Structure 1
Amino acid sequence: MGLRGTPARQARRLLGSTLLACALLGAQTAHAAAGAPPTTVLKVVAQEGTEPKFIPAGIGRVVGLCVDLFRAIERIEPGLIFVGDQQWLPLLRAHSELASHQHDALCAVQRTDQRARQYIFLDPPLFQLRYQLIARASDPAVITSWDDVRKLGAHGVVLTNRGYVTPEMLARIGGMQVDSSATSPVINLQKLVAGRGRFFLHRAPGMQGFIERAGVAGKVKILPTVMLTSDVYMAMGTHVDPAVRLRVQHAIELLEKNGEMARLLKKWD
């Protein structure tokens, strides 16, 4: 008979939690003895539908640009530990839970007026997103500006994702047919292939890899014109100790100066 739900299983879980707590306490003691800042655990999540920031890599494993970035910050600031980057959460919920202080940081998010009232954005920006249109492989359209899309009228529907910043960005540009009903980029790729939209506005880095992992390579193509750009930042909860935020910001500044951030971008582009 298995041990699921039995006292033995519960005891093992309790022992695991106790060992983790002891390990963290031991790390804090060692840091304190060395005169270093105490260990600080920062809770994060893997945001669904945000490749290449977070990419599924088999059962129970998440890789990607932001996972590597968390580890790089930990190397620079050994007293900081990011936990939770192996646990998926829908993007909208990830933002909501940062605002309600259920976790501590979000990696590589765009600054908006609403978000600036809810989070603390750390400078400098981590990197810049490049927005391009994806079309079906057989589509003859040549797009060099938003005017070219506008001229297509009802034949130029642009797919975007609900809960992302892109619908708001396109609303500001104006004059286009936009469908933002999909909840994930993969769904929009499927809609595009099925002819339920002319273009899908998505962002690089990592666009080609995303297309390949979605299984539509050869069915769609990335149009060359960069239609929009936007900086992304490390966002932290307003509840996080300002001294901790400064340590994260210092690490980001160093990663920019020593070229590590550029190397990570190249790895995941």
Structure 2
Amino acid sequence: MPCFCPHRLFLLSGILLSFHTYAAPLRTAYYESPPTAYIQGRQITGVCPDLLQAISKLEPQLQFRGQKQMTSLIAVDTRLQNGSYDVACGLARTPQRESYSHFQGKLFTIEHKVLVRQDDNINISSLAELASLSAQSPVIVRRGSVFASWLKQHGVTVDDSSDSNEINLRKLALGRGRFYYSADYHLKHQRDQHHYQSQTRILPAAFYSQPVFLVTAKTLAASQRQQLDNAFEELQRNGTLERIRRKYGIYEN
């Protein structure tokens, strides 16, 4: 005969409560885009890893799975869209991303800039000039990036055959393109990391400015999005987000 055992009911209710209190970790992964996330030694570092760690420390119910994984930007977008990722970090807003994502909190603002070789005395200040020159020398840009779509919208011929930052930088240095278009912080970090400071220079003109965000999939529960919002706002309020930015050389006005 089945036994009615109050202590077993108590144990079961405790287990159910723990499942309710501690939700499954939010699925994520990083794509290489300094200073948001990049590999240093054998570790993934950057604004985004530090931010997610700070969120988990502040709000223990918000844990993340996949923080030791680096993947491609295209894969991040695809998995946000199909719901196999819950969170992504360091993405700019686009109409396509808005169809499957929520933009939770602004990390910082990037400026679109151009990198050229040091021995090239070119100086341009408009997308119209870049579009004209790109007919003879397509602009190197990362495949799947917001920069690629932005340039195409403005009539610029691009070479977006690679989603590797290092390969794209090497293309420029080897003369397989005249211009490399990306974010200001990204270009500076890439030059420093791969020791191209003496071989390349960043042109002074900023062609566009836009923020990058912490992003969630629309498939994520509204209650969890609200928890993320609350944690992000607290990190802004208590100065943690600003300290993370400055650690990686980012200074917002």
In structure 2, stretches of 5+ residues that fail to align are 1-13
User: How far apart are the structure 1 equivalents of 2:131 and 2:61?
Assistant: 52
Unmatched 5+ residue regions in structure 1?
Answer: 1-24
Change (3 A) 1:75 1:246: same
Cα shift readout 1:28-53 (whole Å, capped 9, x = no counterpart):
84x98xxxx53551111121x31221
Indicate conservation of the 8 Å contact 1:52/1:210, yes or no.
no
Q: What's the TM-score once normalised by structure 2's chain length?
A: 0.84
- 1:165-223 deviations in Å (ceiling 9; x for gaps): 1121012222x332222222211111111111111011133432222222323111111
Q: CA deviation at 1:226?
A: 1.3
Contact 2:35 2:248 in 1 (8 A): yes
**Are residues 1:107 and 2:89 paired?**
yes
Q: 5 Å matches for 1:108-187?
A: 108-122=90-104, 124-152=105-133, 154-155=135-136, 157-174=138-155, 176-187=156-167
Contact 2:131–2:154 (Cα < 8 Å) also in 1: no
CA distance in 2, matches of 1:197, 1:130: 21
Distance 1:96 1:63 in 2: 23
One-letter amino acid matched to 1:212: D
Q: Contact 2:139/2:158 (CA < 8 Å) preserved in 1?
A: yes
Counterparts of 1:239-254 in structure 2 under 5 Å? 239-254=219-234
Is 1:210 the counterpart of 2:190? The answer is yes
TM superposition score normalised by structure 1: 0.79
What SS class does the counterpart of residue 80 from structure 1 fall into?
A: coil
Q: Distance in 1 between matches of 2:100 and 2:128?
A: 35
2:22 aligns to what? Answer: 38
Secondary structure of 1:161's aligned partner = coil
Alpha-carbon distance in 2 for matches of 1:156, 1:217: 22
The one of 28, 35, 38 aligned to 1:52: 35
Amino acid of the residue matched to residue 38 of structure 1?
Y
Instruction: Tell me the CA shift for residue 133 of structure 1.
Output: 0.5
| Distance in 1 (alpha carbons) for counterparts of 2:215 and 2:93 | 9
> Which residue identity lines up with residue 125 of structure 1 in the other structure?
K
What amino acid is aligned across from residue 107 of structure 2 in structure 1? L
What is the rounded CA distance, in whole Å, between the counterparts of 1:197 and 1:82 in structure 2?
39
8 Å CA contact 1:149, 1:156 repeated in 2: no
Distance in 2 between the 1:153 and 1:38 partners?
Answer: 53
Q: Report the aligned-residue RMSD.
A: 2.3
State the shift of 1:107 in Å: 0.5
Please tell me the residue identity of whatever aligns with 2:80. Answer: L
Count of paired positions: 235
Alpha carbons of 1:193 and 1:248: their partners in 2 closer, same or farther (altered >3 Å)? same
- Whole-angstrom CA distance in 1 between matches of 2:189 and 2:163: 20
> Secondary structure at 2:91's aligned position in 1?
strand
Q: Which residue of 1 aligns with 2:5?
A: none
What amino acid is aligned across from residue 172 of structure 1 in structure 2? Q
Alignment partner, residue 49 of structure 2: 67
